[in-house]
Amino acid sequence: MKSLLVCFTIASDRQPRNTAFMSALIETRALTRMDERRQVPLLQPTDFSLKRADRVSITGTSGSGKSVFLRALALLDAPSSGQVLWNGQPISNAQIPHYRSHISYLSQRPALIDGTVEDNLRFPFSLKTLRQRHFEPAAVIALLGHAGKSPDFLAKNAGDLSGGEAQVMSLIRTLQLNPEVLLLDEPTAALDPASSREVEALIDAWFAADNARAYIWVSHDLDQARRMSDIHLHMSAGVLSGAAQP
């Protein structure tokens, strides 16, 4: 079966046109995912390239393969065949934790630990791969400000947070680590409009702070996809296509 090529280069005022900048952060080569139990393809063989300063949205119906593709990029689910490359190189099993600290996946339903918001934000620094780094209150307070939250938010009990507040906390927990790429799996699907705007504002601020960053936003909301991306792709029956400017 031929692989499906999805590559794009969109000119932008914010990105210098040089070879180093245009090299892909993430590539896939003939990447596939199969439902092994039913022997049904979930993701058709796909070649894909994400470059610095790319803002990509992927839309499609439920079950079309959007989340399957994003989870494969995050190396949360092993591909059935094909490769994921990071900065042009294959990723060994030993490199996966390091990869995930740079290529961050955010799901629709945030995972919380018991304790305060601050406890949750400090938690990543207890992990082996991040023990050389430290929680930075000033950076976190700045992120809270982008979402319209005061420093008092840090003292709230995580169990008392609304869905929108929990997602803002989860996103800040990720953004404080300065990832290169965000893989956003319908992060606002279950949120009210005000909470959705807070999440969007946080991502806009993170993206604007460094033109070497990039993200992929899976959304069921076409208006949001147009608002939050320069490149709009479509997923249908495991086939990724579109490569169009919304």
Kindly state whether residue 94 falls inside one of the protein's structural domains: yes
Kindly state whether residue 162 falls inside one of the protein's structural domains: no
Kindly state whether residue 127 falls inside one of the protein's structural domains: no
Domain that holds residue 90: 4-108+179-244
- Residue 22's pLDDT band, with cuts at 50, 70 and 90, is low
pLDDT for 245 equals 42
pLDDT beyond 70 at 2: no
If one counts the domains in the chain, the total is 1
Kindly state whether residue 52 falls inside one of the protein's structural domains: yes
Kindly state whether residue 46 falls inside one of the protein's structural domains: yes
Kindly state whether residue 156 falls inside one of the protein's structural domains: no
Which tens digit of pLDDT belongs to each residue from 202-216? 999 999 999 999 999
- Read off the CATH number of the domain in which 58 is found: 3.40.50.300
- Residue 21's pLDDT band, with cuts at 50, 70 and 90, is low
Q: What is the number of other CB atoms lying within 10 angstroms of the CB of residue 37?
A: 6
pLDDT beyond 50 at 38: yes
Q: 206 CB contacts (<8 Å, ≥6 apart)?
A: 175, 182, 213
pTM over 0.85: yes
pLDDT for 60 equals 93
Kindly state whether residue 16 falls inside one of the protein's structural domains: yes
